[in-house]
Structure 1
Amino acid sequence: MKKISILGCGWLGLPLAKKLIEKGISVKGSTTSESKLSILEDSGINPFLVILSEVEGNIEGESISGNIDDFLAESEILIIDIPPKLRAVTSDSNKVFVQKIENLISFIEKSSITKVLFVSSTSVYGDGNELITEETNLNPETESGKQLVLAEAILQKNQNFETTILRFGGLIGEDRHPVKFLAGKENLENTDAPINLIHQKDCIAIIEEIINQQKWNEVFNAVAPFHPTRKDYYTQKAEQQNLVLPKFSSEKSNIKKVISSEKIENILNYQFKLEDY
């Protein structure tokens, strides 16, 4: 039986784990909340409490809290799905996420892991006015985007395992949609900027295809090929959900960024589930 470890069984990691288990895969999953261990166990996941630290060095018991060795043991694939959660530059934020990944790598190197799938973000590209492909130069504008770029590079250059980078656009799902936050808001910016979103169902299905087709040492953008303007899309969604319509600024946006997922469509032969958008 194939065994996979998922670091971060949250909004995406938990349903992903359930789907993999349905396919006959044994899954170990981590959480940073002790209260969620029973939720993982009830879902058929082998649960672990694992907390990465930004403490420099690899001192056992300091750089990572929890039984990281058992969490990785006997698994061939590690899926890393832990967001940086960095909103701004502070004196404490410099390379915090990067240090966590560096601490993790030493444990991966001595484990049975040979493949790593790192969940990243299209924020690594910034807001350039262009069609974005995997070949586009990285130009992050946020602190989290900058640290994702560094974390990607650290994983990719490591010769002890093969790494595939999966860069998701804005995440949406049945219980998560930005229109609920935007409803009733006024003078919203970037009126005619195109959306770059991906549904949870597509996220999970794409990860399954990468694993099934053994597409390692790759970089993929994952955004639905559906790019109406922010005004058109969120107005329509608010109407459909009987929410107060958001009001957008009359000023034109200077953001015209469109993320291309042609590589995923071509290499994985993947078709997005556009009926969910």
Structure 2
Amino acid sequence: MKINTVSIVGCGWFGLPLAKHLVKLGYQVSGSKRESEAANKLQSDGIRGFSLDLDNHEFNGHCFEVDKLSQIDVELTSEFQSQLQGSLHTDALVINIPPSIRKLPHAYLNRLKFLKSLMAKHVYQQVIFISTTGVYPATGEPMTESDAAAHSPSSEILLQAESLFSQDYPTCVLRFSGLIGPARHPGRFLAGKKDLPGTDAPVNLVHLDDCIGAVSCLLSSELLSPVYNLCAAGHPSRADFYTRAAQHLSLEVPIFGEELQVAKIIDGSKITKELGFNYRHNSP
């Protein structure tokens, strides 16, 4: 079956340029913003905007009580059903919700559970869940998709989030490495900082262009593995990379100390080998 309609939950730094790209490819695209005014502005880019506040359990002006989330699918009015059909109940769904686990560790799963209630029993051709390579421990060895482990409280939450959708929908998890691109120049990440650890530790980064390209690749592919990493093949050292990045912006270079850091090396080649995806930015 061909995917014609795509909904993107979270039209921010990544989701908005993804939505614009998919519109250019001919998809009918819906996209969410927390505020209705911001959602309405998406129309100018050919995106059907809808408001979705996962913290306050609001969808297009409708608010639901947390303890009644499981009843959403039996309480819907015909008007609300129509709104869901156009906004969330599409051929494919891209879930792009930043974890923000450090600030509110339990809020992330609550947001996703509310979203899942809105998805209800709709039959999706494909669900793409954007996750992170934070699920991998630092062992000094290359990390492939099968090496994820609950090595910390945050990684445990991330893995729970991934499984939340994989249980009930045809889900492909896409694990992003550190994100770089417009408004996220790595030269600003560590500029001017002192006595940083991990001078020789490799960096694991992926460019916005490749994030967009990877999702586009998944949408046009029929046979997908459950999980793919996304990371540039080049892994320069932290000291070398962030020094050059700061110099590129004429910023104060970071200073690295002698403290060692166990390496984490993300292998992002599986999507290339299985789906023929080509990274535009193979080296940070």
Q: TM-score, normalised by structure 1?
A: 0.87
Deviation string, structure 1 residues 207-242 (Cα, Å, up to 9, x no partner)? 101111124452001111110110010111112221
Q: Deviation string for 1:10-44 (max 9, x for gaps)? A: 10000000000001110000011334224312111
Whole-angstrom CA distance in 2 between matches of 1:103 and 1:216: 26
Scaled by the length of structure 2, the TM-score of the pair is 0.85
In structure 1, the partner of 2:162 is 152
The CA distance in 1 between the partners of 2:196 and 2:172, in whole Å, is: 36
Q: Helix, strand or coil: the match of 2:210?
A: helix
Aligned-pair identity in percent equals 34
Deviation of 1:70 (Å): 4.1
Matches within 5 A, 1:180-191: 180-191=188-199
Determine the structure 2 residue equivalent to 1:163.
171
Counterpart-to-counterpart distance in 2, 1:269 and 1:114: 21
Alpha-carbon RMSD: 2.3
The one-letter code matched in structure 2 to 1:86 is: I
Is 1:243 aligned to residue 251 of structure 2?
yes
- Determine if contact 2:141/2:263 at 8 Å carries over to the other structure: yes
Question: Which residue of 172, 182, 193 maps to 2:180?
Answer: 172
Q: Which residue of 2 aligns with 1:77?
A: 92
Q: 2:127 — aligned with what?
A: 116
Take 2:116 and 2:23, find their aligned partners in 1: how far apart are those partners?
26
> What's the CA shift string for 1:167-212, capped at 9, x where partnerless?
0000000221232131111111221111000000000001101111
The separation in 2 between residues aligned to 1:250 and 1:97, in whole angstroms, is 36
Question: Contact conserved, 1:6 with 1:29, CA < 8 A, in 2?
Answer: yes
Aligned residue in 2 for 1:252: 260
Contact 1:72 1:113 in 2 (8 A): no
Map of 1:104 onto structure 2: 115
Q: CA deviation at 1:68?
A: 4.5
Q: Structure 1 CA distance, aligned partners of 2:53 and 2:225?
A: 27
- Structure 1 stretches of 4+ with a deviation exceeding 3 A read 66-70
Question: Equivalents in 2 of 1:102, 1:123: separation in Å?
Answer: 21
Write out aligned runs for 1:33-112 (5 A): 33-53=35-55, 55-58=66-69, 59-60=71-72, 68=84, 70-73=86-89, 75-88=90-103, 93-94=105-106, 96-112=107-123
Contact 2:186 2:245 in 1 (8 A): no
SS at match of 2:116: helix
CA distance in 1, matches of 2:249, 2:274: 36
| Residues 1:238 and 1:2: Cα distance change in structure 2 (over 3 Å) | same
